[in-house]
Amino acid sequence: MEEGTKTKKTVFVGGISDDTDEAIIYESFSTFGDILEVQIPPPANQHQNPAPDAPKHRGFAFVTYTSSADAQDAIDNMDMNELKGRILKVNLARPMKTAAANLSGNRAIWESEEWLKEHVKPLAQSGGVQGRRAQSGSQEPESAPTKEGNDEDEDAMEE
């Protein structure tokens, strides 16, 4: 199944209560069509030492239908409806952002290895401080100007 067609058949169900499980979601959403899969993602910190009162899931689920018409029916009928005392937000699921999408998205262009290899020169060739010193033949670090050689600060306060 192509990724584009799967997303049009997958519904995001947000705002589910902690005691809601896959069976309850399946029961509530199966009236709108044949369901292929119900997923309730676990909490992000599940692998660390979970507290006994920690939530069982992240508060949302994904329901994948066999047809996009069934998914649309579920959205039309279940959005802003109540399930186990909570108001649901139901809409089409969007594809997850991948690492490849982030390379062209909010990431700085110079963080890409390909860009660095193409555009960055070694420091000695780039005209940086060491490059200027190498061209002038001077290997000594530049010294700070002394008080005698600094006539621009005549009006400065003396200590």
Q: Which pLDDT tens digit goes with each residue over 41-97?
A: 888 775 555 566 665 788 999 999 999 999 999 999 999 999 999 999 999 998 876
pLDDT of residue 51: 61
**Is 84 inside a domain boundary?**
yes
| 126 within some domain | no
Q: Which domain holds residue 46?
A: 10-94
Beta-carbon contacts of 82 under 8 Å, excluding residues fewer than 6 positions away, are 88
Is 133 inside a domain boundary? Answer: no
Burial of 7 (0-12, 13-18, 19+ CB in 10 A): middle
Average pLDDT, rounded, for the chain: 76
Q: For position 57, what pLDDT does the model report? A: 82
pLDDT at 155: 57
3 located within any domain: no
**Residue 78 included in any domain:** yes
Distance of CA 75 to the CA centre of its chain: 26
- pLDDT digit string (tens) for 100-135? 555 555 677 666 777 777 777 776 666 666 556 666
Number of domains in the chain: 1
Can you give the CATH number for the domain in which 28 is found?
3.30.70.330
DSSP result, 80-116: T-EETTEE-EEEEPPPPP-HHHHHHTTS-GGGSHHHH
Q: Is residue 38 part of a domain?
A: yes
